[in-house]
Amino acid sequence: MAANKNTTKAARELHLSKVSAMYCEGVPQYKIAEALDVCKQQISYDMQLLIKRWQKESTRKLSVWKARELEKINHLEATYWTAYAASRDDKSTVSKSQRVGQEVVTNSQKAESPSGDPRFLQGVERCIERRCKLLGLDKPIQVESTGVKVDYQSLTTPQLLARRNGMSWDEVLAMEPDNGS
């Protein structure tokens, strides 16, 4: 049963916020229906709508979080590269002459051409590894369970849901691919 067509948008959103709050507190759907004086089917419909909203919002937020973390990694990598370049610069000490009594004391000049501090390159490498993990560029991890190798990144949403609901890996992997996911 769909929402009452005579309700205002504000009333509908208030109703959904009550359903959401009670659901998040662990109240069963039939008790939510009783408390809000609607049928169980309405709460079921409301929950489907809320779950779709939550999924859409979390996907949006995940993209924002990934972008923020990627920018931090990019900045950190640039800092490592700058520090590495500075560690490769020629370093020299200037000699100074000083008259002490009748003697002239001279400090010699020493020039050094370092190859660069490898710790900075290790930092760059960590940034690259982290970025690849965050973007999913690494080879998918395969888990072996009772002789079945599973490539988690290639699983479809229906397959993941089926596995979560107790279906065996053999049954999940035998499922027809869903073109919509």
Domain ranges of the chain: 9-88+114-138, 140-181
Which SS3 state, helix, strand or coil, does residue 97 take?
strand
Higher-confidence residue of 95 and 175: namely 175
* Sequence-separated (6 or more) residues with CB below 8 Å from residue 94: 109
CA 11 to chain centre: 35
Highest mean pLDDT among 2-11, 53-62, 134-143, 158-167: 53-62
Q: Tell me the chain's radius of gyration from C-alpha atoms.
A: 32
| Closest C-alpha to 120, from 158, 80, 171, 160 | 80
pTM above 0.75, yes or no: no
Per-residue pLDDT of 130-170, as tens digits, reads 998 888 887 655 555 566 677 777 778 888 777 777 777 77
pLDDT of residue 181: 44
Q: Which residue has the tokens 């930092």?
A: 123
Q: What tokens does 65 get? A: 């979080």
pLDDT in tens, 121-137: 999 999 999 998 888 88
Q: What is the pLDDT of residue 170?
A: 76
Q: Which residues pair with 142 in a beta bridge?
A: 151
**Backbone conformation region of residue 75, classed left if phi is above 0, alpha if psi is from -120 to 50, else beta:** alpha
Across the range 29-53, mean pLDDT stands at: 94
- Per-residue model confidence (pLDDT) at position 1: 42
- For residue 87, give the nearest of 118, 131, 41 by alpha carbon: 118
| CA distance linking residue 41 with residue 19, whole number of Å | 13
Could you count the other beta carbons within 10 Å of the beta carbon of residue 159?
A: 23
Q: Is 17 exposed, middle or buried (0-12, 13-18, 19+ CB in 10 A)?
A: exposed
Higher pLDDT, 51 or 109: 51
Work out whether strand 91-93 and strand 110-112 pair parallel, antiparallel, or are unpaired. antiparallel
The three-class DSSP label of residue 59 is: helix
